[in-house]
Amino acid sequence: MIELIPAIDIINGQCVRLTKGDYDQKTVYGNPLDMAQEFERIGYQRLHVVDLDGAKSKHIVNSEVLNHITKETKLTVDFGGGIKTDEDIEIAFNHGASMVTIGSIAVTEPDRFLGWLEKYGAERIILGADVRTGRISINGWKEDSSEDLLPFLKKYIDAGVKNVLCTEISKDGTLAGPAIDLYKQVMDAYPELHLIASGGVSSIDDIKALDAAGIPAVVFGKAIYEGKIDLRELINFKS
């Protein structure tokens, strides 16, 4: 059964969602800790947290929000956004993250990424693969790299990566449905990969379709906050 991972994106200490990664298309939904505690009350065990200020600023900004969530809940939290240095990754782990999602550094400083993979282990490092028109995008989706998705993944899977969070940027925050064909392409190429699909989920039917396609995990956010997904109904589907 597909792993269900609610998402909280943070700007200025608040829970927000963007559309297609555009900081000018922002909707504020309230207090991140309140949301995390609600997810836990319903029965979710995992949470994806993104420091959007950090992604834009190229260093962690909202570490205290992460700290509050990990101290006040028992959720397993993976954290991303702004992790660029050894200090940043230590801040994330010291503030309670169980795992970190690393995207831009894997493009711009591959040796640093590989060093983190060796130091912290493949279970604690999630490779972020944010895709726009088939290529990896970096730095809060502000820049497109020359890296094509599948060769980029192969390079790091060969180095030991087991977990990949793949976001189709054109779908993110749109409620237009997930990029199932893209995720199936990745799974066909790397069937042992723990792939986390992200972007476009608008309904429980979308999640069922991902599950039917054999996608191991899914992150979803806007559909929660816009009332498109009933979290209690969804968790019952899983069980």
Residues with a catalytic annotation lie at: 9, 130
Complete DSSP assignment for 167-222: EETTTTTTTS---HHHHHHHHHH-TT-EEEEES---SHHHHHHHHHTT--EEEE-H
Encoded tokens for 102: 């690393």
Encoded tokens for 168: 């189709």
Give CA–CA dist 225/186, Å, rounded.
28
Q: What is the dihedral angle through the alpha carbons of 236, 30, 169, 208, rounded to the nearest 10 degrees?
A: 10
Encoded tokens for 52: 């959007």
Q: Which residues contact 81 (CB under 8 A, 6 or more apart)?
A: 10, 50, 51, 52, 53, 54, 55, 60, 62, 101, 140
Residue 148, Cβ neighbours under 10 Å: how many? 12
Give CA–CA dist 129/135, Å, rounded.
9
C-alpha dist (Å) from residue 158 to 61, 134, 163, 183, 237: 32, 20, 12, 19, 35
- Cα distance between the two ends of the chain: 8
